[in-house]
Amino acid sequence: MKTLTENRVYNFSPGPATLPEPVMLRVREEFLNYAGLGASIIEISHRSKEFDAVVDGAIALFRELTLLPSDYSVLFVHGGGRMQFAAVPMNLIGRVASKRALYVETDAFSTNAIQDAAPYGQIDVIASSKQTAFDRIPTLPPVPQDAAYLHITTNNTVYGTRWNRFPETGEVPLVGDSTSEILSRVIDYSRFGMVYAGMQKNLGPSGTAIVVIRKDLLGKPLPYTPPLLNYATLEKNNSMLNTPSTFNIYVAGLVLGWIKEQGGIAAVEGRNNQKAKLLYDCIDGSQFYKGVAQPEHRSAMNVTFKLPSEELTDQFVKKANKEGLYALKGYRSVGGIRASLYNAMPIEGAEALAAFMKDFERAAG
């Protein structure tokens, strides 16, 4: 079953997650000597012309691949997605006198976003799918127009749901946490005031976030916002007010190049849908597996399902692991199985898992 090089497995980890093999090979190849400098990419100054080219190249590729409108900035920010849970209100909530912001609760991570925003203003949860155990994206009431922004989690990695249509918000900027799906489907960024994503699923190593923000939203931070979380300050300094995570940005640049080589986001999205369909077909054609998410809200990135018992679930995880299908255990609060199918998961990985699911069901049945 192992068709990857060097005894690598099909890695379904929810994050940090599998990265494209050509990227991994390239990093390894040039790890001791970057661009002929005689030093590693992790050993050179972020003020060197070589690293400037890395940052500028990554941002240019992101813009090209997403067709990003010119009135948006792209930033790299320390701390991953969760640091933005505080940084978003610090940067945006002061735009309205009421310091009011709206949140939609759809997952453990959206719950954290709501909690982390609490110190900075009036945080109103205008919709939640908690009552149905987060199996869907809730229907929204009309969006109050006095709010600084509406925050959604565009893909919910724990329960395996996603927003397949983004809400109409009128004049209120829509802010999307796309940590678990950035660059996995074609998105009209002009629908958003801001989109952010921790890198560790579709972009690279953990510890850094990419932030895409409409420029008119910059420059009204709360007074106690640390400079490194002040998006306007970061924009002025090309994300290098201090030493950024140079390795992470370098790997992200290589991953963006790989997406381009794959044919761009639309091509990657097509393959992502194929991979997800392999597993969802398997679930829908079975009495043994039960999907966690409502079909119309299913994620293409995180496929979640349950087996008839915990015992069978444990067996499934262990047996799959032995066959080179790694990290399939569901999130602790949900249980069951979660197969994460980020961009870098090859179709063969999803095929192998679908075949394993059928075999396992037969053997257990």
Touching its own copies, residues 77-96 (CB under 8 A): 78-83, 85-87, 90
Residue in 320, 282, 251, 351 with CA at minimum distance from that of residue 3 = 351
Nearer residue to its own copies within complex by CB, 13 or 169: 13
Taking the complex as a whole, the smallest distance from the CB of residue 52 to its own copies amounts, in Å, to 14
Among 120, 134, 258, 305, the residue binding its own copies under the rule CB under 8 A is 120
Query: In which region does residue 175 sit, left (phi positive, over 0), alpha (psi from -120 to 50) or beta (all else)?
Result: beta
**Binding of its own copies at residue 19 (CB under 8 A)?**
yes
**Binding of its own copies at residue 326 (CB under 8 A)?**
yes
**Binding of its own copies at residue 37 (CB under 8 A)?**
yes
Per-residue binder mask for its own copies (CB under 8 A), 225-244, x = binder? -xxxx-----------xxxx
Taking the complex as a whole, the smallest distance from the CB of residue 212 to its own copies amounts, in Å, to 20
Q: Which residues of 69-81 are buried (b: 16+ CB within 10 A; e: fewer)?
A: eeebbbbbbbbbb
Taking the complex as a whole, the smallest distance from the CB of residue 36 to its own copies amounts, in Å, to 8
The backbone torsions φ and ψ at residue 291, rounded to the nearest 5 degrees and listed phi first, read -65, 145
CB-based contacts of 143: which residues, under 8 Å, 6+ apart? Answer: 102, 126, 150, 167, 168, 169, 170, 172
| Positions 274 through 293 that interact with its own copies (CB under 8 A) | none
**Binding of its own copies at residue 33 (CB under 8 A)?**
yes
Residue pair 138/129 in contact (Cβ under 8 Å)? The answer is: yes
Among 73, 110, 156, 245, the residue binding its own copies under the rule CB under 8 A is 245
Which residue in the block uniquely carries the two structure tokens 């079953």?
1
Dmax over Cα atoms in the chain, in whole Å? 62
Q: What tokens were used for 88? A: 């978003």
Residues in contact with its own copies, total (CB under 8 A)?
72
- Name the one range near its own copies by CB under 8 A: 129-137, 204-212, 271-279, 293-301: 204-212
**Binding of its own copies at residue 139 (CB under 8 A)?**
no
Provide the CB-side half-sphere exposure for 144 (13 A, CA).
15
